[in-house]
Structure 1
Amino acid sequence: MTALRVRGGQRLKGQIEPSANKNAVLPVLCATLLSDAPIMLRNVPEITDVQRIHAFFADLGSTVDWNRDAKTLAIDHSSISPDAKAKLPQAMRASIMMIPGLLARLGEARLEHEVKGCTLGAREIDPHVAVFKAFGAEVSHEKKDIVFRNKGKADGARMWLEYASVTTTENFIISALTARGTSQIVNAACEPHVQELCSFLEKMGARIEGKGTSMVSVEGASEFTSVDYTFVEDFHEITTFLALAAVTGGDISVRNTRPGDFMLIDQTFEKFGAKVSHEDGWSRLNAPAQLEVQQNFTSHLTTKVEAAPWPYIPADLLPIFIALGVKAKGQTMFWNKVYEGGLTWHTELSLFGAHTLLCDPHRLITFGGDKLVPATVTSPYIIRVAIAMLMVASSIDGESTILDADPIRRAHPDFVANIDSLGVDVSWDD
């Protein structure tokens, strides 16, 4: 694991072109296994999970041409042998979304029991198993592996999810394309990256109704067309750069072609006295000198930021707003309704001099506005927690060190270079 050294205290200014959303890129890559037609993907970020999938496709026998400079990835799976054998990458949770394509193509897929990912808490795979069984797969344990076997082309299925899980929804949609007839999922996740997967599949020839809603219907398909697809900007990264402006009293503009996704995000910035504007494909935050938590009309209640499945504030963005909470004068409650392990890192903030109180595994109160000091902190393996720590360090005059900052590279390959261009003196210490 590597560290980031940050010399902060500057007012950040500039314009940024953000990367594509990892959470859109990975399911799209997994879904390409359904097709033998040539596929061209553009604006592909050079992140470790894409590298792992690229290597896996090559092991399968696919033709894959990744031009890292042009950020393009050309894929042709027509050369995969029906007898190909390859074990799914264990080091990323997205591996589970390759199972529908492998079942359709090879009839079998194997996944180790312990699938990795960010350390956010318990993340079961039972909902995914239910999806695969609904589409006729046989699932069993064999030593250290979970084995999925295709028992033949299934009829369409209907499922009502107990929880609007993103990856379960995506697995259902991809699996439904391999079935006969119409499939329907109720209480589907509708995050922007789920919508982007649907947009890609539609461009490939899929018929999907209800994209962006909690009820999605999918028609099975027997063949797909060649597609040239460009990924849109990552709303997580856009929000992060705007938040960097807020915590440093800066003025940052970020390319954003989907401002309609930002209404609640904009309202959340306003809770800290910061305002976002959208114009001509750009989002801008010109921050006040001092953030201040805005008082509720019901004055005796604490201002809250609640994270839950879309259209709530995404849980992945909660650490970004917690960074605002420790900078803004006033008291804020942050409520993570998704992960029970997403707030334990608050103790590291105290090393900066921040005052926080963990009410329970899901709720954290920040008492912001205190003078913060440089510190050496350790990030858990959670992408946006590492970024939140970097944000706080960027706002403090002096040198701070963030240990175990590698998760940033999993999702944001150009992040450190981008913030350096905005005025942060930052470097990797490998």
Structure 2
Amino acid sequence: MSNLIVHGGAPLAGRIVPSANKNAILPILCATLLTAEPVRLRGITEITDVKKILEVFRSLGSSVEVDFQTGILDVHHKSTHFDPASDRLPEEMRSSIMLVPGLMARFGAARIEDDVKGCTLGAREIDPHVEVFERFGAVVERQSDGLLLNVPGRLRANDHWTDYASVTTTENFVLCAALAEGTSTLMNAASEPHVQEFCAFMQMLGAKLEGLGTSRLKISGVEKLGGGDFTFAEDFHEIVTFLALGAITGGDVQVKNSQPEQFPLIDRTFAKFGVRIEHKDGWSRAITTGALKVKEPFTRNILQKVEAAPWPYLPVDLLPIFVALGVKAEGSVMFWNKIYDGAMGWTSELSKFGAHAFLSDPHRMVTFGGKPLHAAEVESPYIIRVAIALLMVAASIPGRSVIRHAAPIRRAHPHFVENICSLGARIEWVEGD
């Protein structure tokens, strides 16, 4: 067990350079399996899921050289092998399902383990992925410990229209289509910043991909892909989190941000809590004047709203960050998670701080902010950004708080606590119960 001890109440200030986005790194790592040429990745992060995938690569005979201090990874799958009878993909890691297309394309076979999951965000089905694999020609056989996929010959192109704009399903479709025979089209494709970054990497390898950043992707399959040198962008999740930490503690935090063009809706969401975001010379800054206060809607008798759904909506992963601002700011806000059921059920933990938050249904929460808050010991569900949101609330309150089960933070954000401490926070990890 990993707990966080937070001595809150100090305004945070300073400059931070965010790490790369886990949700870009993991699919790009999986995509390297599609080529037998060397690939160099710059900005790789030392997080649990990255280390698990690299260990899989090593077990399959790939060459892996990584320096987490410099963030440089060299990977070469020239001598890679795979035997579905003996080789296993990492369990309890959602991203392992993105290893399947590379294995099918290279070796004609792959596996999906029974226990493929990520954060506890409600039901996260694998059926959309299996459907994609079948459309590209995979024959799926259910076994006692998972699914076995066999591909007779080369993957074959197809057109597909997904039920919803799923990030991982979109990435799996592109991974399959890149080396498939013919031209494939995906409608209702996800277009989040990390999906765009993944698609840019695929183009660097030589994939013929059109429609980057839109809901319609067209991919013309090629015989083989090449290698290359790729640098990750800053994680917009971390950018928003550090800006919010500055705002909730009444401090002044500046965050490196090379893609402010992705932030107009995020900036407007901050403004609903009285926070102005300034982008200047490659840096972003949260500016507050006095206590946080919810902006009242002009329409009478309605609550201020923050709605989260697939991009270009506000990303659902960021919703807990704004919930933290909601319990701190004077006024009431309704938060609406339009994707995951069960992702809002942590109001009881907020109440331990003295916060007033009401769960309307599995998708909606209302905060009645500006109440007196006090330090507390709380338990985080296994959801990365919820653990961070609880940390944010604790950091804004004078006194000693404890965030129990905070380990999910390490899945996405390397050196996160060290970075916050560099801004003046007093936070430490404590192992054990």
Query: TM-score by structure 1 length?
Result: 0.99
Residue equivalent to 1:96: 97
Deviations 1:273-330 (A, max 9, x none): 0000101111111222200000111131100000100000111000000000000000
Instruction: Report 1:5-404 matches (<5 A).
Output: 5-81=5-81, 85-404=86-405
Check the 8 A contact 1:40/1:73 in 2, yes or no. Answer: yes
Alpha-carbon spacing, 1:293–1:142, altered in 2? closer, same or farther (3 Å):
same
Check the 8 A contact 1:120/1:382 in 2, yes or no. Answer: yes
The 2-side partners of 1:343 and 1:81 are apart by 42
The Cα of 1:106 is off from its aligned counterpart by 1.8
Check the 8 A contact 1:87/1:109 in 2, yes or no. Answer: no
The Cα of 1:82 is off from its aligned counterpart by 5.9
Residue equivalent to 2:420: 419
Structure 2: 5+ residue stretches without partners:
none
Alpha-carbon spacing, 1:81–1:114, altered in 2? closer, same or farther (3 Å):
closer
Q: Secondary structure at the match of 2:263?
A: helix
The 2-side partners of 1:383 and 1:252 are apart by 22
The 2-side partners of 1:339 and 1:349 are apart by 19
1:409 aligns with 2:410: yes
The 2-side partners of 1:270 and 1:247 are apart by 13
Check the 8 A contact 2:179/2:224 in 1, yes or no. Answer: no
State the one-letter code of the partner of 1:118: C
The 2-side partners of 1:391 and 1:81 are apart by 45
State the one-letter code of the partner of 1:18: P
The 2-side partners of 1:299 and 1:246 are apart by 28
The Cα of 1:33 is off from its aligned counterpart by 0.3
Aligned identity (percent) is: 56
The 1-side partners of 2:158 and 2:346 are apart by 41
The 1-side partners of 2:108 and 2:154 are apart by 10
The 1-side partners of 2:300 and 2:257 are apart by 35
The 1-side partners of 2:146 and 2:48 are apart by 23
Check the 8 A contact 1:331/1:365 in 2, yes or no. Answer: yes
The Cα of 1:154 is off from its aligned counterpart by 3.2
Q: Secondary structure at the match of 1:130?
A: helix
The Cα of 1:155 is off from its aligned counterpart by 2.7
Check the 8 A contact 2:117/2:124 in 1, yes or no. Answer: no
Check the 8 A contact 1:90/1:111 in 2, yes or no. Answer: no
State the one-letter code of the partner of 1:51: K
Check the 8 A contact 1:246/1:288 in 2, yes or no. Answer: no
Q: Secondary structure at the match of 1:359?
A: strand
The 1-side partners of 2:401 and 2:372 are apart by 15
The Cα of 1:48 is off from its aligned counterpart by 0.2
Deviations 1:70-127 (A, max 9, x none): 1111000001136585211012100000100001112211222221210000000110
The 2-side partners of 1:233 and 1:144 are apart by 38
Deviations 1:159-190 (A, max 9, x none): 00110000000000010012111100000000
Higher mean Cα deviation, 222-231 or 373-382? 222-231
Query: TM-score by structure 2 length?
Result: 0.98
Check the 8 A contact 1:14/1:253 in 2, yes or no. Answer: yes
Q: Secondary structure at the match of 1:217?
A: strand
Check the 8 A contact 1:64/1:76 in 2, yes or no. Answer: yes
Structure 1: 5+ residue stretches without partners:
none
Check the 8 A contact 1:383/1:407 in 2, yes or no. Answer: yes
Check the 8 A contact 1:319/1:385 in 2, yes or no. Answer: yes
Aligned length: 430
The 1-side partners of 2:90 and 2:110 are apart by 11
The 2-side partners of 1:167 and 1:339 are apart by 15
The Cα of 1:13 is off from its aligned counterpart by 0.4
Check the 8 A contact 2:105/2:155 in 1, yes or no. Answer: no
Alpha-carbon spacing, 1:83–1:129, altered in 2? closer, same or farther (3 Å):
closer
Deviations 1:355-380 (A, max 9, x none): 01111000000000011100000000
Q: Secondary structure at the match of 1:176?
A: helix
The 2-side partners of 1:130 and 1:91 are apart by 21
The 2-side partners of 1:150 and 1:92 are apart by 24
Q: RMSD of the alignment, in Å?
A: 0.9
The 2-side partners of 1:82 and 1:398 are apart by 53
State the one-letter code of the partner of 2:323: I
State the one-letter code of the partner of 1:371: P
The 2-side partners of 1:144 and 1:225 are apart by 34
Check the 8 A contact 1:31/1:101 in 2, yes or no. Answer: yes
State the one-letter code of the partner of 2:46: E
The Cα of 1:152 is off from its aligned counterpart by 1.6
The 2-side partners of 1:219 and 1:345 are apart by 45
Check the 8 A contact 2:61/2:79 in 1, yes or no. Answer: yes
Q: Secondary structure at the match of 1:339?
A: coil
The 1-side partners of 2:334 and 2:163 are apart by 27
State the one-letter code of the partner of 1:38: P
